[in-house]
Amino acid sequence: MSDDISGRPASPARRSLLRAGIAAGVALPAGALAARAQGIAAGTPDPLITEVQDWARYTGDGVDATPYGMPIHFEDQVVRRNVPWLTADPISSINFTPIHELDGTITPAGCAFERHHSGAIELSKPDYRLMINGLVDRPLLFTYDDLTRFPRQAGVYFCECAANSGMEWAGAQLNGVQFTQGMIHNMEYVGVSLKTLLDEAGVKPEGKWVYVEGADASSNGRSIPIEKALGDVLVAFKANGEALRKEHGYPVRLVVPGWEGNMWVKWLRRIEVTDAAVESREETSKYTDTMADGTSRKWTWVMDAKSVITAPSPQVPIAHGPGPLVITGLAWSGRGAVTRVDVSTDGGKSWQTARLAAPGVPMAMTRFYFDLNWDGSELLLQSRAIDQTGYVQPTKDALRAIRGENSVYHNNAIQTWWIKPDGSAENVEVS
Amino acid sequence: MSDDISGRPASPARRSLLRAGIAAGVALPAGALAARAQGIAAGTPDPLITEVQDWARYTGDGVDATPYGMPIHFEDQVVRRNVPWLTADPISSINFTPIHELDGTITPAGCAFERHHSGAIELSKPDYRLMINGLVDRPLLFTYDDLTRFPRQAGVYFCECAANSGMEWAGAQLNGVQFTQGMIHNMEYVGVSLKTLLDEAGVKPEGKWVYVEGADASSNGRSIPIEKALGDVLVAFKANGEALRKEHGYPVRLVVPGWEGNMWVKWLRRIEVTDAAVESREETSKYTDTMADGTSRKWTWVMDAKSVITAPSPQVPIAHGPGPLVITGLAWSGRGAVTRVDVSTDGGKSWQTARLAAPGVPMAMTRFYFDLNWDGSELLLQSRAIDQTGYVQPTKDALRAIRGENSVYHNNAIQTWWIKPDGSAENVEVS
């Protein structure tokens, strides 16, 4: 994977008007699959199958080689990446999940994106404390072991940074889905319901909000309405089976299903029940949406339905000629389950329903596939998600009509990849 | 985690008869939760919450620290382990998933168990070939890229070695759930349906079996009836989102949902359609069940319903005194979804229904929880799984009545942990 796709300086928007002249591929009729496969009888013998290779001649690694394994070195390109011009200060910055290389729905913890306000801290379980104070009957202090004694919940949830796709508001900027939509992960979390802990403390009638903060230097304090806090929020200590990784808040983080990732406070240290939002530095200096008329929208917690085609895309161009092509991507919604994903090959003029790998799960990622018999001509690939509320993922133009071009956050617009006859892909816009 | 729990020599069975004299804990009434939590006002101030700690004074790691991350060093005990007396030759042996340390259902690839017949080989995608031959209309040879052009399927499946719990047939042998039930993992797989590839080749009417083999020196050839091969079997290239790990068959393995793990051939190299089972070395010298009367049962493909309490268990004793205790474990069935799990605290005299973290998924692991208000007395903890066919996981005695004590494989018996007043746990049997 060459480095020249890892981002480019913020330049004037490269908004291409490409709708005209694109001949879409033909959708693959069921039963007509004809992938290129070499007939053994017809061709020259392939020594990789007819000759004994070294890997079949010698034995491989034993079971004591890797007590905890890493990916094979052939996959060294599947890593989190940052964007130099975005990441002037790596302590207070972001990196991106390589979603272009992944399939299925689970994000491996090892390459799930990071966003820190003051770096990833090292906090041991013996040193861990969680305080609940404020408008409660009984202020409480929990050790890590205390938390493990409460009834647990488990669930798969996506975590999306409010700034995901933020650089794209003013035009197509970054040439890779890792950079345009990669501030997201999807993991199976296990923890204790925040409601269980708040009930233990006893929320007073005047308690209308909770203010949650982390143990890191930024504290990243955020205010959450009491209705959500007493709903599906988890105080989580496991992700994808194992302990949280250091960079994801070890040993304890908040999981706020469907809501913007900055509320999923890492290294969770304190929960104060309050009668009003605190309006802290970390929740007012960021995450506020500038609207088309220049005013600001104060709170945007829920991440609206969104989808993106992860492959083919600029970092993973089509490596073969015309014929069967698997188009795949991810869809999610903070308001519930994704019920349908549509794919367009002509920049949104026409749509066809994609195949979901499994029925949508509320506030979790859904994998979709669209099998195309590609004729080798240009495509303008798009996807749009529809969730259980009937909400349809909007076009960039529709979103800009409401929000203008000065926003940074909450961009859930339809993404377009311009696929060229050589199989390469470019981030473009159509209008 | 001390080393003395990592297995013991094969000694005469330590079958304890412990049913008498065990006072079971009382099930936790809803709403009566009272975990130990320190009242802030009542106690001495805790400097870990009242004083600024180093982790809040300095910034942590930046986003460029770990492009692909590993678990934090505090979790170094969460690793695959082998058992020295079982693993005389690490090239042809097994290690075990640390299921006692995990929660939820997904197994991280890094610590998912390994079983090799001739070691984990290194096979690159460019060198990869898959041949389909035998009783087909068109023998075919696929490259890795070819496989990625067929329509994909995704699903979460457990993979259990036929020998899981095999050392326990003659009595309670190994003091840790990692060793007694840890030859299992549960991952989200993505690949191409084997049926799709077989349809491409065209199975002749006389083709009744497929013989699958790997590219490693053992080849680990296995015969699979054509009905299963044309059913839910996947030719998989991703697990938990990313490429298969080297030790799990990179770049391509077979996924045979619900069937014994040795049929999930790694480094998949060849699929031959045949009119009869091949009865290869790897499928006749192993995986055959010796019955009570000394005869052998030829094929046992499906892994019957099974469950086990993962914590508390010998490697993770109860670290606190009486009061709220989370009992948790895993359940699975090769015949479909787990519909119910029961827990006993008195060695099977009485049973209560556990709480499933989510509805059971066919041929995938289910996490269960049982919240107990432990009175500090001895417990004989057991769990039993019931699947969608109505099958109930059997006791060891019931299984031995059919199978005798000379089996090695397919032990899905109920497991007992003897919990002592000090919180420690021991692998025992009750009868």
Q: Is B247 on the interface with A (CB under 8 A)?
A: yes
- The amino acid at residue B25 is G
Tell me what pLDDT residue A281 has.
86
> Does residue B144 share a domain with residue B275?
yes
Domain boundary among B297, B329, B357: B297
Does B245 lie in the same domain as B260?
A: yes
> How many Å apart are CA A179 and CA A81, to the nearest integer?
8
- Pairwise CA distance, residues A163 & A410, whole Å: 6
Residues B322 and B416 in one domain: yes
On chain B, the residues whose CB falls within 8 A of the CB of A90 are 62-65
B189 CB-near residues (< 8 Å, 6+ apart): A104, B154, B155, B156, B157, B234, B236, B238, B239, B255
Domain identity same for A312 and A284: no
Per residue in B357-372, pLDDT (tens digit) is 999 999 999 999 999 9
Tell me, yes or no, whether A34 lies in a domain. no
**Cβ within 8 Å of residue B150, ≥6 positions away:** A33, A35, A324, A326, B192, B193, B196, B197, B200
Q: Is A257 among the domain residues?
A: yes
**A335, A301 contact by CB (below 8 A):** no
At residue B87, φ and ψ (nearest 5 deg) are -110, 55
Q: Out of B37, B87, B103, whose CB is closest to A142? A: B37
pLDDT digits (tens, 9 = 90+) for B13-31: 333 433 333 333 333 333 3
Cβ–Cβ below 8 Å for B102 and A241? yes
- Is residue B33 predicted with pLDDT exceeding 70? no
Total number of domains constituting chain A: 2
Instruction: Give domain status of residue B208, yes or no.
Output: yes
- What is the amino acid identity at position B59? T
User: What is the CA angle B77-B83-B89, rounded to 5?
Assistant: 125
Question: Does the structure show a pLDDT above 50 at A2?
Answer: no
Residues B282, B310: one domain?
no
What is the residue-averaged pLDDT of chain B?
Answer: 89
Which chain B residues have a beta carbon less than 8 Å from that of A139?
Answer: 39-41
Residues A259 and A348 in one domain: no
Q: Are residue B174 and residue B220 in the same domain, yes or no?
A: yes
Do B252 and B237 meet the contact criterion of CB atoms below 8 Å apart? yes
Residue at token pair 């499946």: B157
- A235 and A356, same structural domain? no
Q: Cβ–Cβ contacts within 10 Å for residue B178, how many?
A: 32
Render B26-79 in DSSP notation, one character per residue.
Answer: EEPPTT------EETTTS---HHHHS--HHHHS--B-TTS-SS----GGGTT-S
**Exposure string over A113-148, b if 16+ CB within 10 A, otherwise e:** bbbbbbbbbbbebeebbbbbbbbbeebbbbbbebbb
The percentage of chain B sitting over the pLDDT mark of 90, rounded to a whole number, equals 76
Closest CA to A220 of A196, A246, A249: A249
Domain boundary among A249, A275, A295: A295
Whole-number pLDDT of residue A161: 97
CATH of the domain at A330: 2.60.40.650
Query: B293 with B308, same domain?
Result: no
Decide: residue B78, CB within 10 A, 0-12 exposed, 13-18 middle, 19+ buried. Answer: buried
Q: Which two tokens stand for residue B165?
A: 């719990």
Which has more confidence, A232 or B36?
A: A232
Last residue of a domain, one of A295, A328, A344: A295
User: Domain span at residue A230?
Assistant: 109-295
**B81 three-class SS:** strand
CA neighbor of B156 nearest in space, from B224, B91, B238, B41: B238
* Span A307-351, pLDDT tens digits: 999 999 999 999 999 999 999 999 999 999 999 999 999 999 999
Tens digits of residue pLDDT in B308-345: 999 999 999 999 999 999 999 999 999 999 999 999 99
In A37-149 the beta strands, taken as DSSP E runs, fall at: 38-39, 129-134, 140-143
Q: Are residues B229 and B352 in the same domain?
A: no
For chains A and B, what is the number of CB pairs under 8 angstroms? 392
Domain-embedded: residue B75: no
What interface predicted TM-score (ipTM) does this complex get?
Answer: 0.92
Query: For residues A189 and B396, what is the distance between their CA atoms, to the nearest angstrom?
Result: 34
Distance from CA of B321 to the nearest CA of A (A): 11
- B100 falls within a domain: no
Tokens representing A153?
Answer: 């919940």
Q: Residue A43's CB: how many other CB atoms inside 10 A?
A: 9
For residues B128 and B254, membership in a common domain is answered with yes
- pLDDT over 90 for what percent of chain A? 76
For tokens 């690949």, what's the residue?
A: B191
pLDDT in tens, A44-80: 789 998 898 988 888 899 999 999 999 999 999 999 9
Quote the tokens at residue A385.
């998600």
pLDDT at A25: 34
- pLDDT tens for each residue of A100-115: 999 999 999 999 999 9
Closest residue by Cα to residue B355 from B326, B382, B397: B326
For residue A125, give the chain B residue with the closest CA.
B74
Residue A57 lies in a domain: no
Does residue A251 lie within any of the structural domains? Answer: yes
Check the CA dihedral B69-B73-B75-B81 and report its sign: positive
Report the CATH number that the domain containing residue A159 is assigned in CATH.
Answer: 3.90.420.10
Structural domain includes residue B291? yes
The pLDDT, as a whole number, for residue A43 is 60
Q: Which of A86, A100, A106 is best to mutate for the B interface (most B CBs within 10 A)?
A: A106
pLDDT at B11 over 60: no
Do A265 and A360 belong to one domain? no
HSE at residue A345, side-chain half, CA atoms within 13 A, is 26
More confident: B32 or A264? A264
**A93 in contact with chain B, both atoms CB, cutoff 8 A:** yes
